Structure 1
Amino acid sequence: MLSTMLASRALALVVLVAAWQIEVEGFPRNEVFTNSFLVRFRRDMTLKEASGVANLHGFINLGKLLGSNREFHFLHRSVPHARTRRSLSHMRTLKSHPDVRFAIQQTGFQRTKRGYNRLRLAVLEEIQQQHQNEPTDPYFPFQWYLKNIGQNGGKPRLDLNVEAAWAQGFTGRNVTTAIMDDGVDYMHPDLRDNYNARASYDFSGNDPFPYPRYTDDWFNSHGTRCAGEVAAKRDNGVCGVGVAYNSKVAGIRMLDQPYMTDLIEANSMGHEPNLIDIYSASWGPTDDGKTVDGPRNATMRAIVRGVNEGRHGLGNIYVWASGDGGEEDDCNCDGYAASMWTVSINSAINNGENAHYDESCSSTLASTFSNGAKDPHTGVATTDLYGKCTKTHSGTSAAAPEAAGVFALALEANPQLSWRDIQHLTVLTSKRNSLYDAKNRFHWKMNGVGLEFNHLFGYGVMDAGAMVALAKEWKTVPPRYHCEAGLIRSPKKFTTNQSVILEIETTACQGKETEVNYVEHVQAVLSLNSTRRGEVTLYLISPSGTRSMILSRRPNDDDHRDGFSKWPFMTTHTWGEDPKGKWRLEAYISQETQQPNHGWILDWTLMIHGTKEAPYKDLPIQDENSKLAIVKKAHEDYMKKKH
């Protein structure tokens, strides 16, 4: 069994690393080289030995990459942080050392914070008197995402239902969430008691103190605001209260330099994986509707290692903001949010509508909250820089830390939950509630086992009370397998007037070690070229008839050269289904433009990820109308039909 699981994980890693190769190879037009170098030695090296090599050639050793004894992060201060040409002389100097196997100068790329930055303070309506058992923090009445009683035009009871979790005694004790961002004001009176210094680090400044860099416009307030959503202290007379107000928060400052590098990202996501339970990321590739980008090699290795080895083998939980590109972007083009190793979270406003900046995609698992509705400038109330508070934090930046807080409550309720258990719990306990698409584009649908989903909101708004209640009774899901279910390599053309449909009939590796009978994630790994990439729309239809839009039209994307190269378009919409049968891929060119366009699907690999055994068979049913009861019944019917 162990060898099977390791082989399966290795296959998945190969597929995922290959998926980003086009982005690495496609950079030369605008490539930027930094003063950061990855150095791999021929043998295991101590820190002292590696530093000796660095000093000999004028470099500074910043430490190991992901704990490796052979890979190190070197910096050369005489090389500019950003230049258009490689420093070949510096690489040759390093390679000349007999212990050095290779040295690679790191390319730089943009990573942007996610949040609606044009907010202003708003005058809020009068709010009804607090109950005595509610938090006494002065901003709690403004935290409608914790308790929605209709303030600011919101819909009563459309919230995270955290009071039901608190009432069960769960407040996040012994759980640490790392905020990977521009720093955390750990001296803030609402954060300092819940700050985990041991788990914190500044990868932008290379020291243990991730305090935000001061700017006049408070640009680096992002991480501090996210931290307060998770772990702001309760009943201390300062600001509001965190979703998991007795949990710990760590600061990982990594987002404050001119260019991001693969080594900074990798070390951030692999930092102290046994001290950190949850990594919260409210950033990603530029949300401009034309960027297709994702994690590079070292970063992908860090994430895969985190889910396989972090938390002493239970797996770290990576929470990602789905993106703020609005309807002109698609979060399946963001390789972080669309990864099956992460939990992608979208947002809603307090009356149930999607926010105007919300991206949609089939990889989103669930939603939390961002803006108020009656006054769009009313955001999330939380901590701010220099001991202050704010009521204007917003965007999917605000949504991801709320989800991280809910996960912290679940981990206190059951510390043995794996990273996959968290995803299953999210699917089973998130609710439609009052969420709806304001433009009536995306409707709620049922998948093949009766789970309700929406292209904007995933499986609905997260419910902390329901999640901790189910977490207490949870039985760890069976082992996960990765099945290469089929491959088509014959190029197929599609045009403005003629779509193309490809079909793969699969047994989902039946009879093999990697057999999958119950789906978790499905990837359509595609190579595709077109005269205008943004005009392409793709659908994946499961044997049960569940139709997932895996790529929507992106009118700002005018690429005609790079296309997609083995890009893993992912869907969560077929969760729990039987994957055996005929899968269809449909490709269309938009007819909204006057200019004719065409495209080619060069190859398509269908990857199915899930379990061989039924995942929920040992869980007790307390509510016959719950998602758990519905899915268990579907799985039982499947087994009867099979036999």
Structure 2
Amino acid sequence: MDVRKGIFFLITCVYIQIFTSAHTSRKLYTDKWVVHINGSSVDAAALATRHGFVLNGEVFKDMYTFRRVGLPRRTSVSSLGITEKLLKEDKVLTADQVLWKRIYHRNSFSVNDRLWPDMWYVHSATRPSMNVIEAWKSGHTGKGITIAIVDNGVDINHPDLKANINNTLSYDFFDGDKDPSPDNPNESHGTKCAGAAAAVCNNTICGCGIAYSATIAGIKNNNGGTSSDIEARSLTHRLNEIDIYSNSWGESDDTDFGGPDDIVHRAIMRGISKGRSSKGSIYVWASGNSGPDDDCNADGYVNSIYTIGIASVSHHGYSASYGETCSAILAATYGSGRTNIVTTNTYGRCDKMFTGTSASAPIAAGLISLALQANKNLTWRDVQHLIVETSSLEGLTDSHIVNNGVGRKD
């Protein structure tokens, strides 16, 4: 990606559809057969018993359901041999193993959260779309995936977060305990990030996190400053239980190169090699808000090949005015718009003015959670490739889009 570019691919959930299709389009066979009998119900019962079935009722005249004892209720493997034996019977006209079909309700998506109308960035009318509602409708809401919000604290008692907080996985690396709540309630940054990623949905309170069924691990690793050992520990905390580490912080790179020193770099390396049972921890990083005159290539966290650098675009489809530009950015999500991003705030409050790449990064973490729910075997590199392959420039506005060295549009 050319370092002069001010526009980036918008992450969509097309990559979720790629992997869910492998699960939803594959045929699933049940332990039942529909058998057309040229005979009476007595003949059907006798036939079922002879072939190891239980007669499960009459669908309509002469069509009966047989359930085969000992077979799994659903399997991807058909029992063709059983069907062939049934068809050899003189009284059997047809015999078909019953398929399991996944049903999608073709209704509109609406929830009762108070700020749902302000969540323009997930509504179907917003273009380009991140396809979030489409993923939710398909059943992918982040369930079973854990996102660590690595920040200045998370209000674990917020009513729109509490149900998704895992207190066992959460940790405060300053006080050495499992309560990562900010020392000062006015320090709301981490709580806002948590809400953008995984606030509870349909509970009448604030809004919906992108992965509203995901688990949140609040990890407090800074309070206006931090140290390398705390950084390293926070980025390797519970590696096999946390899937994604969302980071909306970094050193200043305005006048000098900033980034992870050796111990932090080693921690990230350990995460991508050992995390998630060796599939690799996923590190999402906000690209920074110092504007186009700054260059996030100088940010060693963002330009690491082991992290996913995320920029912001506005609801108009432009690169955010505060956004930094660099070749290290992998993709963008929405970060500012009509009412900015809906989220949670300290003191149990709601907020619809969260903005910046700090908002975009947890949104990206939420999107990745949806993909991981669809396919938990994705490695850290798989996730990066999916973002590259499926993020889209369609609907984004910039006059400097060119083809890069491998023929992709930048």
TM-score by length of 2: 0.72
For 1:228, which of 187, 195, 198 is the aligned residue?
195
Who is 2:231 aligned against?
A: 265
Q: Please give the secondary structure, in 2, of the residue aligned with 1:351.
A: coil
- Count of residue pairs the alignment pairs up: 304
Q: Percent identity?
A: 47
Amino acid of the residue matched to residue 183 of structure 1? Answer: G
Indicate conservation of the 8 Å contact 1:307/1:317, yes or no.
Answer: yes
Distance 2:143 2:176 in 1: 29
Runs (5+) with no aligned partner, structure 2: 1-106
Amino acid of the residue matched to residue 303 of structure 1? Answer: I
Who is 2:145 aligned against?
A: 175
For 2:118, which of 122, 142, 145 is the aligned residue?
142
Alpha-carbon spacing, 1:333–1:448, altered in 2? closer, same or farther (3 Å): closer
Who is 2:357 aligned against?
A: 396
Runs (5+) with no aligned partner, structure 1: 1-130, 150-155, 454-643
Q: Please give the secondary structure, in 1, of the residue aligned with 2:315.
A: coil
Aligned pairs for 1:344-359 (under 5 A) are: 344-359=309-324
- Runs of 4+ in structure 1 off by over 6 angstroms are none
Deviation of 1:447 (Å): 3.2
Indicate conservation of the 8 Å contact 1:273/1:306, yes or no.
Answer: yes
Alpha-carbon spacing, 1:138–1:432, altered in 2? closer, same or farther (3 Å): same
Aligned pairs for 1:464-613 (under 5 A) are: none
Indicate conservation of the 8 Å contact 2:127/2:395, yes or no.
Answer: no
Deviation of 1:159 (Å): 3.4
Indicate conservation of the 8 Å contact 1:232/1:242, yes or no.
Answer: yes
Indicate conservation of the 8 Å contact 1:285/1:291, yes or no.
Answer: no
Distance 2:204 2:369 in 1: 23
Deviation of 1:148 (Å): 5.6
Report which structure shows greater RCO (CA 8 Å, sep ≥6): 2
Indicate conservation of the 8 Å contact 1:227/1:249, yes or no.
Answer: yes
Amino acid of the residue matched to residue 179 of structure 1? Answer: I
Deviation of 1:340 (Å): 0.3
For 2:328, which of 356, 363, 377 is the aligned residue?
363
1:161 paired to 2:125: no
Who is 2:390 aligned against?
A: 429
Alpha-carbon spacing, 1:383–1:159, altered in 2? closer, same or farther (3 Å): farther
1:245 paired to 2:228: no
Indicate conservation of the 8 Å contact 2:289/2:324, yes or no.
Answer: yes
Q: Please give the secondary structure, in 1, of the residue aligned with 2:206.
A: coil
For 1:198, which of 122, 147, 168 is the aligned residue?
168
Distance 2:236 2:377 in 1: 20
Q: Please give the secondary structure, in 2, of the residue aligned with 1:251.
A: strand
Who is 1:408 aligned against?
A: 369
1:277 paired to 2:243: yes
Distance 1:143 1:133 in 2: 13
Render the CA deviation track for 1:400-436: whole Å, top value 9, x for unaligned: 0000000000000000000000000000110002222
Distance 1:338 1:397 in 2: 17
Distance 2:334 2:222 in 1: 23
Render the CA deviation track for 1:142-197: whole Å, top value 9, x for unaligned: 11121263xxxxxx333321011112211111100000001111111111111111
1:286 paired to 2:245: no
Alpha-carbon spacing, 1:148–1:385, altered in 2? closer, same or farther (3 Å): farther
Who is 1:301 aligned against?
A: 266
Deviation of 1:371 (Å): 1.2
Superposed CA RMSD in Å reads 1.4
Amino acid of the residue matched to residue 451 of structure 1? Answer: R
Who is 2:299 aligned against?
A: 334
Distance 2:404 2:138 in 1: 32
Distance 2:175 2:127 in 1: 43
Deviation of 1:213 (Å): 1.4
Who is 2:184 aligned against?
A: 214
Distance 1:315 1:135 in 2: 34
